[in-house]
C-alpha cells in the first residue's frame, strides 16, 4: 500500500468539517474588515523566498522543497504566503496605482521540518496582507481580526507583542546585540554562533535553554527603539486596551522570517502542546521595495489551520435535507427524478437499493437528514410521496407536486 508522505495529511470526514468551518468563518470576518480573496501559485521561483523570507532564516536555509524543473528553473513549493502575495501585488502594478489594497488567502504551505504533533511538512494557512496603510491602527486591526476569528471559533489564546524597530533604530541595536553575544561565544550553541554573523536578532528566540539563560541579560530592542517606533508601540497597546484585547509584551519575539519591521505579534495556545503558535504576523514596510516595487507600507498575518482545527468548538450540526428511498425497482426511476428536481434547492441523498420502509428509515437516520421520503407502488399509483420528519417524528403523505 502506498501511504501519504511523512508530515502530509489527508483531510476528510470530521476533520474536513472543521477545516471548512474554519475557512468559512475566517473568510466572513476578513470580508467584514474589507479584505478580498487572492490566489497565488503553489510553486514560485526560489529567489522570491530567498529575498523575502531571508537566506539566513531556517525556512530558506533548511526547510524548502526546492528543485530544478524541466525548464531548468530553480523553483520551490511556497513555504508561506506573504512573498507570493507581494510578488503578485508588484506584478499587477498595484504598488504604482497607490491607494489601499487588502487581500486574504488560504492554502497549502510546505516546509521540510521534522514532523511532530502540530508540525507538518504540508500544512494550511489562512492569511491576510494589507498594503498602503502607514498607520499602527492597521496593525491593531490585524490583531483584532485574529482575535475576532478565534473568539468566534471558541478558541482561547495568549497574544504576544513586540516591536522590531525600523531602519533608524534597528542597526545601532544590532551592533549592541552583536557585541553582547560575542562576549558569550564560549557558552552558546552552534546555531547562535552562526546567527551572530547572519541574523543576530534570531539568537533571541533560540530554543536552547542555556543560551536563553545567558540572553536574559541581553540588550532589549524595545528599550532601544527610536521615538517614532516607541510612540507607535505605545499607541498599539492603547488601541488594544481600548478594545478589550489582552496582550503580553515579549521582548524576545523576533519571528522566524526576515521581512518584519516595527510591530510583530504571535497568538499562542496553551492547549495544543509544544507547537503552540496558532497565528503570527506583523508589519513589513520594506518588503515591497526589496522585491523591486515602489516603497509601500504593509502588514499582515497568517494562522495555522491544522493547529486551530484541534481547538475549534464546533456548533451543533442540525439535521438537514432529504433522504429519498424507493420500495421497488419501478419506483426507483421516479425517486431519481424527484431527487434531481429537489436538488435545485436542497441536499438530497438517494439510496439506489430498494428496501422495505424500516431499512430505509434506518439508513436515513444514519445520514443525519431531516426528512425521509419514500415512494412505493401505492404512492406511484396515487401520485404521492410518504414523508417522515426525523426531528419531530411526524409523518404525512403529500401530492408529488407539493413535495
User: Would you give the binding string for ligand HAM spanning residues 246-275, x where CB under 6 A is met?
Assistant: ----------xx------------------
* Binding residue for ligand HAM, selected from 301, 322, 323, 386, defined by CB under 6 A: 301
Q: Binding of ligand HAM at residue 160 (CB under 6 A)? A: no
Q: Counting beta carbons within 10 angstroms of the beta carbon of residue 84, is it exposed (0 to 12), middle (13 to 18) or buried (19 or more)?
A: buried
- Does 125 interact with ligand HAM (rule: CB under 6 A)? yes
Interaction of residue 285 with ligand HAM, rule CB under 6 A: no
Q: Which of 281, 293, 297, 325 binds ligand HAM (CB under 6 A)?
A: 281
Could you tell me which stretch among 181-189, 207-215, 277-285, 329-337 binds ligand HAM (CB under 6 A)? Answer: 277-285
The residues in 332-371 that bind ligand HAM, with binding defined as CB under 6 A, are: none
Q: C-beta of 367: minimal distance to ligand HAM in Å?
A: 33
CA 190/CA 214 separation, integer angstroms: 15
- Find the part of the chain contacting ligand HAM (CB under 6 A) among 16-24, 38-46, 79-87, 227-235: 79-87
Among 15, 44, 58, 113, binds ligand HAM (CB under 6 A): 113
Cell of 182: 560575542
Residue span binding ligand HAM (CB under 6 A) among the ranges 38-46, 69-77, 118-126, 218-226: 118-126
Residue 51 lies near ligand HAM (rule: CB under 6 A): no
Pairing between strand 101-110 and 36-37? parallel
**Which of 49, 305, 30, 260 has the alpha carbon at shortest distance from 166?**
260
Q: Using a CB cutoff of 8 Å and minimum separation of 24, what contacts does 61-70 make?
A: 62/112, 63/111, 63/112, 63/113, 64/110, 64/111, 64/112, 65/110, 65/112
Q: Cell 498607520: give the residue.
A: 135
- Residue 80 to residue 302: CA distance in whole angstroms: 9
Length of the chain: 403
Pick from 194, 208, 191: nearest CA to 252? 208
Task: Name 382's Cβ contacts closer than 8 Å, sequence gap at least 6.
Answer: none
* Grid cell 500544512 in the structure block, residue: 123
State how far the Cα of 175 lies from the Cα of 173, in Å rounded to an integer. 5
The least CB distance from residue 384 to ligand HAM, in Å, is 54
Q: Which is nearer to ligand HAM, 131 or 386 (CB)?
A: 131
Does residue 307 bind ligand HAM (CB under 6 A)?
A: yes
Q: Is 120 in the site for ligand HAM (CB under 6 A)?
A: yes
In angstroms, give the least distance from the CB of 331 to ligand HAM. Answer: 50
Which residues form the interface with ligand HAM (CB under 6 A)?
A: 80-82, 111, 113, 119-120, 123, 125, 127, 129, 256-257, 277-282, 300-302, 304, 306-307
Amino acid at each position: 500500500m502506498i501511504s501519504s508522505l511523512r508530515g502530509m495529511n489527508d483531510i476528510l470526514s470530521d476533520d474536513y468539517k472543521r477545516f471548512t468551518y474554519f475557512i468559512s468563518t475566517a473568510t466572513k470576518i476578513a470580508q467584514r474588515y474589507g479584505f478580498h480573496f487572492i490566489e497565488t501559485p503553489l510553486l514560485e521561483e526560489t529567489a522570491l523566498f530567498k529575498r523575502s523570507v531571508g537566506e539566513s532564516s531556517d525556512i530558506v536555509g533548511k526547510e524548502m522543497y526546492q528543485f530544478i524543473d524541466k525548464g531548468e528553473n530553480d523553483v520551490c513549493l511556497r513555504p508561506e504566503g506573504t512573498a507570493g502575495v507581494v510578488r503578485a501585488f508588484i506584478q499587477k502594478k498595484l504598488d504604482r496605482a497607490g491607494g489601499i489594497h487588502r487581500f486574504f488567502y488560504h492554502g497549502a504551505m510546505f516546509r521540510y521540518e521534522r514532523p511532530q504533533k502540530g508540525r507538518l511538512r504540508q500544512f494550511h494557512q489562512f492569511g491576510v496582507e494589507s498594503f498602503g496603510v502607514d498607520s499602527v491602527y492597521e496593525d491593531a486591526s490585524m490583531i483584532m481580526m485574529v482575535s475576532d476569528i478565534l473568539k468566534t471559533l471558541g478558541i482561547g489564546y495568549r497574544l504576544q507583542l513586540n516591536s522590531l524597530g525600523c531602519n533608524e533604530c534597528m542597526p545601532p541595536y544590532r551592533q549592541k546585540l552583536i557585541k553582547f553575544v560575542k562576549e558569550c561565544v564560549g557558552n552558546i550553541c552552534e546555531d547562535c554562533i552562526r546567527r551572530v554573523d547572519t541574523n543576530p536578532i534570531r539568537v533571541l528566540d533560540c530554543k536552547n535553554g542555556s543560551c536563553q539563560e545567558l540572553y536574559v541579560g541581553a540588550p532589549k530592542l524595545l528599550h532601544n527603539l527610536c521615538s517614532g517606533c516607541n510612540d507607535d508601540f505605545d499607541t498599539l497597546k492603547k488601541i488594544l486596551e481600548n478594545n478589550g484585547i489582552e496582550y503580553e509584551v515579549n521582548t524576545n519575539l523576533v519571528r522566524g522570517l526576515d521581512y518584519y519591521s516595527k510591530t510583530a505579534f504571535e497568538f499562542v495556545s496553551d492547549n495544543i502542546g509544544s507547537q503552540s503558535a496558532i497565528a503570527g504576523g506583523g508589519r513589513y514596510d520594506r518588503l515591497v521595495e526589496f522585491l523591486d516595487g515602489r516603497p509601500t507600507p504593509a502588514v499582515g498575518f497568517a494562522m495555522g489551520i491544522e493547529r486551530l482545527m484541534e481547538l475549534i468548538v464546533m456548533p451543533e450540526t442540525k439535521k438537514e435535507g432529504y433522504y429519498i428511498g424507493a420500495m421497488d425497482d419501478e419506483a426507483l426511476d421516479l425517486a431519481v427524478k424527484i431527487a434531481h428536481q429537489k436538488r435545485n434547492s436542497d441536499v438530497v441523498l438517494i439510496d439506489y437499493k430498494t428496501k422495505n420502509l424500516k431499512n430505509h428509515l434506518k439508513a436515513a437516520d444514519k445520514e443525519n437528514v431531516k426528512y425521509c421520503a419514500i415512494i412505493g407502488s401505492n404512492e406511484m399509483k396515487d401520485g404521492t410521496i410518504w414523508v417522515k420528519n426525523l426531528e419531530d417524528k411526524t409523518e404525512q403523505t403529500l401530492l408529488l407536486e407539493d413535495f
